[in-house]
Structure 1
Amino acid sequence: MASLGERLHRLRQRSFAGREDEIALFRAVLAASGVMFVHGPGGIGKSTLLDAFAQVAAEAGRAPTRVDARHLSLGPDPLPALAGEARPVLLIDTYERLEPIDDWVRERYLPSLPGDSVVVIAGRHAPGPRWRADPAWRELMHVVPLGNLPDTAGQAHLAAQGVPESMHEQLLAISGGHPLTLSMLVDAVRRGASPRALSDLPDVVGALLTQIVEEAPTVRHRAALEVCAHVPVTTEDLLTALLGADAGDLFAWLRTLPFVVESPHGLYPHDVVRDAIDTDLRWRAPDRYADLYRRKLAAFLDQIRAIPGERDRIQLLVATILTNRNRSGIPALRALPPAAPAYIDRLRDSDQAAIVAMTAARQDERQARLVEHWMRRQPGAFRVFRISGELRGYTACLDLTAADAGVDPVVDGMWGYVSAYGPPRPGERVRAWRFFVDREHGQRPSPSMTLFLAAQMLDIIELGDDVAWTLVGAFDDAGRWRQAMEFLDFGPAHGTPGVFAHDWRRTDRAEWAERLHARQIGAPVRPPGPDLDRPVLSRPEFAEAVRSALRCLHDPAALRDNPLLRARMVRHGRSPAEQLRDLVDAATRTLPADLKVLVTRTFLEPAATQERVAASLHLSFNTYRRHRDRAVAQITDWLWSHETGAATPAGAIGSASAS
């Protein structure tokens, strides 16, 4: 009995129509050797044509190797090594994702393949000028522009799909022979839709998507389709996390949709479909769109934290950046290219000379000397970007202290800013993105730039509670990146040109995520920046606020103005006053038994004057006050550790009887 995969393959073969000239050319190339470069806009049928090429190769006894550049792993060997294979056939799809390394593919990778290889490259754009300027490539390569299907091929496709002949002319007129749109129209017709005449393709896709979503079997199926359009790749686990219960049936249904593609990493819709579904949901059901975005963000952060390796975490962040870049409407983000096959790596000693040289070439000698200084002082702060092991760029996120002043003018400006607007308290850190350079592109859009932004996002996700500030001062053209930085809630550091800042004590990660969500859906949100109106208490100010809060813990009116109610540790969940009482109670439970009783009778459950509490504990009032002050100091230490992320001081919790 044939497998389900074999049955699906036969059905897909049956519905394939047209492209006779392209297949004839491929047969000719297969009989000899050479390269075909197929190009055309999204949804024009490039991937389907590669399926047909793979079938032709298999019938000829050749074993084709398929590569989709959308799903290449970020590593040193992005494309397969075929040196040991006899008469290899390589089919590369979505080549526009590899355009940043087009020179490497043309000059190094393809020439390394066996001489009897057959290679088909399929992408949205025609070969660049360097391909056309090389007489050898002009001789060896066949360029194939792919257009819409002619009416005869479209009619054959519709007939194979069982569409009544009376509808062929109408559907072909609506689609214009665009294969993806035609496939979507067939699916809509099977669900009872009556397509209208629309000349503009995005309107066609939008109208059809509305029909398809509305005709989904259930509300949960419609929600699954919306998730699929909203995330880079959809897995069954992700559907379960976002939609609840067992999502196996939903995942199986998504796999049957004609515009959903399977990849090694999960399911994804064609680009035009993804954008149309997402836009349609945002317009049609803005509340559901906002809820989906919020839940997706939470699931995504959990997914990132669960991935063990930095490189893999960066890869998922890159996919997310690329999925959302156009939705942001921010030019600097929309210009970002795919990162593959570039990947992030640790700094090696052998990288340092090349980093200094590329900095001098792309920026200036002074900047190069500063990079050299920081590589000696904080080598662990540096990350590099490589392609096939070769250094392509770098970045650095420094941990700043007062001892770093006096060498680097930008760092001096950063430290001066945080010192003026919220100095780090004991145990707190200041993170500063100080450098970024790509060897070939400087700070223009490049795979390195995409990785740089992904590294910034990962640093935010992995922040400890001990981080007070993150600053970004790596951009030569800060004006170009201002909108993107403000979208990420980093405001200009006033008085420090080219630097953006975020104070995590005033706006922590949970609130940061809420603001990111609000900006993504266009909801009102307070201006980006460090929220200077929120106090950051020094250690003595914090201690005084704790003493004051303990005295009026059960007096809401008196407690209302206590600065602890605006502290980071009480910013989420129940009301700040309730959270503060819970924290004081938790701190009290860490005390020895005698101090715990003292604090309970004095502050948590006061029923008498402090003199009577002292008498009930059989303590003189002077001894009682000494023990009370020690307990208050230890509660303060415990609360401070929760506010700043610092460890509780060793030996802080001790018995009153020890005094």
Structure 2
Amino acid sequence: MNRPTVLADRLRDKRRREFFGREAELAEFTAMLAGQAATPAVLFVHGPGGIGKSTLLRNYAELAADRGRPVFEVLGGDVGGTPAGFLRLAAAALTEPDAVLLVDAFEDCQHLAPWLQESFLPDLPVTALVVIAGRCAPDPRWTAAPGWHQVLGVRELGELPAPAVEELLAARGVPNSRWAAVTRFAGGHPLALSLAGGIAVRDKENSGIAEQAVVAALLPHLLAGDVPSPAHRRALEVCARAYGTTEGLLRAVLPEHDAAPLFEWLRRLPFVSPGRFGLVPHDVVRAVLSADLRWRDPAGFAELHRSLRGQALARVRAAAPAAVLREAAALRYLYRDSGVPTYQHQWRRDGEVLESLCQERDHAEVLELARSSGEAERVEWWLARQPGAFRVQRCADTGELIGVTAWLRLLRPEPEELADPVVAAAWRHAESTSPVREGEHLGLARFSLLRAGHPGAAPARDLIRWRLLAEMLRGERLAWTYLVAEAGEPWRSWMTESEQPPAGEPLEIGGRLFALYAHDWRNRPVEQWLEAADLRLLEGTAPAEAGVLCRAEFDEAVREAVRALHRPEALATSALVRTRLLAAHCGRRAEEALREVLTTAIEGLAADPHCGKAHRALVVTFVTGTATREAAAARLGLPFSTYRRHLATGLDRLCDSLWHWANQAA
């Protein structure tokens, strides 16, 4: 008796009819099932989130089942991170001659790759087939291992080609008039196409919908009836912007709401997955949520960003040593759309590369890596001088050294320390612009070495950047920081954009030109520095670069500013706006803050018994104001020459006072 058709059959048939653009992948797997020569026994498919890896594996499973092959499916997130966890899910495949093992979301257990390569996969029956799908490509050492290049196939799953995109949209019932708007937003990304196409079908009234309207409408329509309240929508927006969303983060950002039910609601959403450090939405959904909020409510987007930034900064500063990098990564992630490449990071599974303090047992490997940069002698000297400044980055699964970084803390360098030309250049620049004062220190990222070409270099670079950011944000009495990077473009533009302009002339290190990129944290404290980054992210503009004026330039700027005391437009463009004088006035209009600083400084001279006449000359001339200098002299009852002498004295004392303020502000 024939089995009756069930709903699963209809669903499978519909999925097959709406599966487009992967003909080559299906043909290859069909050939693998048939045992054709030169087909791989292990197929590794990689690509970004939402590109269709899971859908492809579901089709593979159906093809295999149709041919009577036993199918075993493993989801990387269910493995638990250990070989035992993987065996719990896949051990049955070891005893099935025709087994087809499909491993999805391999990025969640990618650190098990060496064990799979060396232990598990070789024990499978020779007729078994394996398909592994993940975001990251396999380690080149796997593909290059003896014997594996003959049985391992690596395929990158890209976007759908244009014909397949059109087929998909037509199958979903998207009118031709809407295709351009949908594809401008989604490109050939299957998940984005499906989401945007669904919106276009439901919103048939507006056939001329623009690209931004698709973005803005995507999530509200997608979640119609599924977002219970404005609080739930805000929680969803937090999840879209944050590195990882925890109940604690929701409680901090949404203090007026009960965080527990909001978190549970987020966790149940189909496009949200649990990560190591909180809930993480699907990449495309994250991008769409962000775009929707930014377009629909720019002020709300800015408010949310600043709230998340405040929380992230507080966590970086309060973090225990073991959590510092994670919190620095969370802060840096908030600026991923700012357009500054150094704020971006390579997506990798957390824990693939680990950082630790450099120990004596690491020294030999550190020096071996340093030899390729021509810096081995300097590295060895500083290892002896400041061993605690060095950290190493190692591959989690093999322990192989991938990177080394050193953050030197310099109070007042000794002559032997100044023998290092990089240290000497940094100290010389600081002394010639704004010297390091008693109790302050200078931070120098002296070494940042990576093993070139290593697959772990990208995540190791991320760790180094997070470490440097943490040092800058957590440094107590930190006056200057200097980073060493390549001279010229594009680094010059990148670093200047992040308010770390080049300091002095380029330096030759190991036969290559490098530059020191500097930031004075007394001139632009952390909060102001991050607010400048906020402007770049939120408005696409940057504030005027923080200025360091020599004494003559400073005095001239003070004299010009007091003459413009009652002209706000002139005060707003004063060179003093970009100095440390306004460090305590963060968030206020520049002209208002500068006027207050100037008038307060003038009033402060009244307390000096030697400045009484000079103080009165300043008040009458600039604060209360007169039409002419002669009128000011007459109001004071002084001969004009005497008035001019008192005024000159007052201006000199005012400049002295403000210069002192500027160099004490921190």
Give me the whole-angstrom Cα distance separating, in 2, the residues matched to 1:570 and 1:86: 67
Q: Distance in 1 between matches of 2:251 and 2:34?
A: 48
Q: 2:418 aligns with which of 397, 403, 406?
A: 406
C-alpha deviations, 1:500-528, integer Å up to 9, x for none?
A: 12222222222222222222213654344
Distance 1:418 1:177, change over 3 A: closer
* 1:492 match: secondary structure: coil
Correspondences of 1:545-564 after superposition (within 5 Å): none
In the alignment, which residue of structure 2 is the partner of 1:510? Answer: 527
What is the distance in 1 between the residues matched to 2:340 and 2:247? 31
> Equivalent residues in 2 for 1:480-491 (5 A)?
480-491=490-501
Q: Separation in 1 of the partners of 2:292 and 2:44?
A: 34
Q: Show structure 2 runs of 5+ residues with no match.
A: 1-7, 95-100, 508-514, 555-575, 601-659
Aligned partner (choices 446, 455, 460) of residue 458 of structure 2: 446
Tell me the secondary structure at the aligned position of residue 425 of structure 1: coil
Structure 1 pair 231–51 and aligned structure 2 pair: CA distance change class (3 A): farther
The equivalent residue for 1:222 is 233
Residue identity opposite 1:452 in structure 2:
I
Give how far 1:412 is off.
0.3
CA shift for structure 1 position 484 = 3.3
Inter-partner Cα distance in structure 1 for 2:455 and 2:405: 11
Q: Does 1:37 align with 2:44?
A: yes
Deviation, structure 1 residue 295:
0.8
Q: Name stretches of at least 5 consecutive residues in structure 1 with no aligned partner.
A: 1-8, 159-165, 538-560, 582-638, 646-659
Cα distance change, pair 93–240 in 1 and its aligned pair in 2 (3 A): same
Distance 2:64 2:325 in 1: 36
Count matched residues: 528
Checking the alignment, whether the CA contact within 8 Å between 2:199 and 2:217 is kept in structure 1 is no
The answer to whether residue 105 in structure 2 is matched with residue 110 in structure 1 is: no
1:463 Cα deviation (Å)?
1.9
- Code of the residue aligned with 2:231 in structure 1: it is R
The worse-fitting range, judged by mean Cα deviation, of 513-522 and 54-63 is 54-63
Query: Is 2:502 aligned against 1:492?
Result: yes
Q: Are the structure 2 counterparts of residues 354 and 483 from structure 1 closer, same or farther at C-alpha, using a change threshold of 3 Å? A: same
Per the alignment, residue 66 of structure 1 pairs with: 75
Partner of 1:654: none
Structure 2: which amino acid aligns with 1:291?
Answer: E
* 1:345 maps to 2:332: no
Taking the aligned partners of 2:51 and 2:665, their CA distance within structure 1 comes to 55
SS of 1:424's equivalent?
Answer: coil
Deviation at 1:377, TM superposition (A): 0.1
Superposition RMSD on alpha carbons, in Å? Answer: 5.6
1:223-622 paired onto structure 2 within 5 Å: 223-244=234-255, 245-310=257-322, 312-318=323-329, 321=332, 324-325=335-336, 327-334=337-344, 336=346, 338=348, 340=350, 341-361=352-372, 363-364=373-374, 367-387=375-395, 388=397, 389-400=399-410, 401-403=412-414, 405-441=417-453, 446-464=458-476, 466-472=477-483, 474-477=484-487, 479-495=489-505, 498-522=515-539, 524-529=541-546, 531-532=548-549, 566=581
Go from structure 1 to structure 2 and tell me whether the alpha carbon gap of 1:502 and 1:222 turns closer, same or farther (over 3 Å shift). same
The alpha-carbon deviation at position 418 of structure 1 amounts to: 1.1
Helix, strand or coil at the partner of 1:499: strand
1:86-235 maps to which residues of 2 (within 5 A)? 87=93, 91-93=103-105, 95=107, 105=113, 110-117=117-124, 119-123=130-134, 136-137=147-148, 139-141=150-152, 179-181=190-192, 183-184=194-195, 188=199, 193-194=203-204, 207-209=217-219, 211-212=221-222, 216-235=227-246
CA deviation profile, 1:342-386 (whole Å, cap 9, x unmatched) = 12111011221222221221x21xx21111111110000011111
1:272-307 residue CA offsets vs partner (Å, 9 max, x unmatched): 232233233333332222211111100112333454
Deviation at 1:469, TM superposition (A): 1.6
TM-score of the superposed pair, with normalisation by structure 2? 0.63
Q: Is the 8 A contact 1:96 1:124 kept in 2?
A: no
CA contact (8 A) 2:316 2:474 kept: no
3-state SS in 2 of match to 1:446: helix
The CA distance in 2 between the partners of 1:516 and 1:567, in whole Å, is 18
Cα deviation, residue 481, structure 1? 2.5
Report if the CA contact (8 A) 1:40-1:146 is conserved: yes
SS of residue paired to 1:411 = helix
Name the amino acid aligned to 1:435.
F
- Maintained 8 Å contact 1:34/1:116: no
SS at match of 1:239: helix
Q: Distance in 1 between matches of 2:498 and 2:222?
A: 34
Shift in alpha-carbon separation, 1:260–1:187, aligned structure 2, 3 A: farther
Distance 2:140 2:383 in 1: 39
User: How much has 1:52 moved relative to structure 2?
Assistant: 8.3
CA displacement at 1:483 relative to structure 2: 3.3
- Call closer, same or farther: CA 1:133–1:61 in 2, change over 3 Å: closer
- Name which of structure 1's ranges 434-443 and 130-139 shifts more when overlaid on structure 2: 130-139
Give, in angstroms, the shift of residue 185 of structure 1: 5.3
Name the amino acid aligned to 2:44: F
Mark the CA change 1:23 to 1:643 in structure 2 (over 3 Å): closer, same or farther: same
Bigger RCO (CA 8 Å, 6+ sep): 1
CA distance in 1, matches of 2:147, 2:196: 43
Secondary structure of residue in 2 paired with 1:313:
helix
3-state SS of the aligned residue for 1:490?
coil
Report the AA paired with residue 365 of structure 2. Answer: A
Q: CA deviation at 1:124?
A: 5.7
Amino acid at match of 2:445: W
